[in-house]
A = this chain, B = another copy of it.
Amino acid sequence: MEEKHLQSSDFIKDVVIGMADGLTVPFALAAGLSGAIANTSIITTAGIAEIVAGSIAMGLGGYLAGQTEVEHYYAELKREHEEVERVPETEKEEVKEVFADYGLDEYSQNLIVEALSKDKEKWVDFMMKFELGLEKPDINRARNSALTIGISYIVGGIIPLSPYFFVTDSTVGLNYSAILTLITLFVFGYFKSKVTGQNAVKGALKVTLIGALAAGAAFYVAKLFS
């Protein structure tokens, strides 16, 4: 059950990562360009280029992160195996220290160490989890993570960009985009906070504020530089 909890929380985390950035960055970019450029056709081109670039960069970034996690786990696993073979006494001391911290006496510590060290596989497993805090990562995690983040970014990014396709004046586009995106950010923040067990209204306001801040800053900085 804990395993299940972890996996679905990974999925939700990926959706949140992709969607939060997908909603915010294209929204802010389009807002920034609206402050500097009157015609929406350049804004939609830039927005699409951003969504493509962002979804690939974030998706493949998620893939590499997942892969690195897997590689890191197996590198540490190999090291622990070697240490258990080479310096078993040191490793036994490390196990004892873990339990000494929790107030177990010398006698109990030795008992645990002797039981654990009978089975080297379990001993190494124990060191991985309790000394290093590493869980065996899911092999498919990297691929799933990449797809989830990438698709969430695209879905998120299309929302703030959509109004610009239907109007020619960028200020009009910005107004509709701002209304649409701020509502979406609020709803997204609300459900995100619900799912992660946070205060939903507070969470919704935070997410909306980030989007508004990013868009506002991009708007004024782009105006300054144009």
User: Chain A: residues with CB nearer than 8 A to chain B?
Assistant: 2, 17, 20-21, 24-25, 27-29, 31-33, 36-37, 41-42, 44-46, 48-50, 52-54, 56-58, 60-61, 64, 68, 71-72, 75, 99, 102-105, 108, 111-112, 115-116, 118-119, 122, 125-126, 129-133, 135, 196-198, 206-207, 210-211, 213-215, 217-219, 221-222, 225-226
Instruction: Look across to chain B and name the residue whose beta carbon is closest to the beta carbon of A211.
Output: B57
18 pairs from A and B in contact (CB 8 Å cutoff): A21-B58, A21-B61, A28-B49, A29-B49, A29-B50, A31-B53, A32-B48, A33-B45, A33-B49, A48-B221, A50-B50, A56-B210, A56-B217, A64-B210, A68-B196, A104-B112, A108-B112, A108-B115
In the complex, what distance in Å separates the CA atom of A44 from the CA atom of B213?
A: 21
**Known A57-B21, A75-B197, A111-B111; contact A48-B214, beta-carbon cutoff 8 A:** no
Structural contact, A49 and B197, CB atoms closer than 8 A: no
Residues in B neighbouring A56, C-beta threshold 8 A: 28, 210, 213-214, 217-218
**Chain B nearest CB: distance from A138 CB in Å?**
15
A57-B28 Cα distance, complex, nearest whole Å: 9
Q: When chains A and B are docked, how far (Å) is the Cα of A210 from the Cα of B54?
A: 11
Contact of A42 among B37, B104, B130, B198 (CB under 8 A): B37
Q: How many copies does the complex hold?
A: 2
Query: Residues of B contacting A44 with CB < 8 Å?
Result: 225
CB distance from A84 to the nearest CB of B (A): 14
Contact of A222 among B31, B48, B108, B215 (CB under 8 A): B48
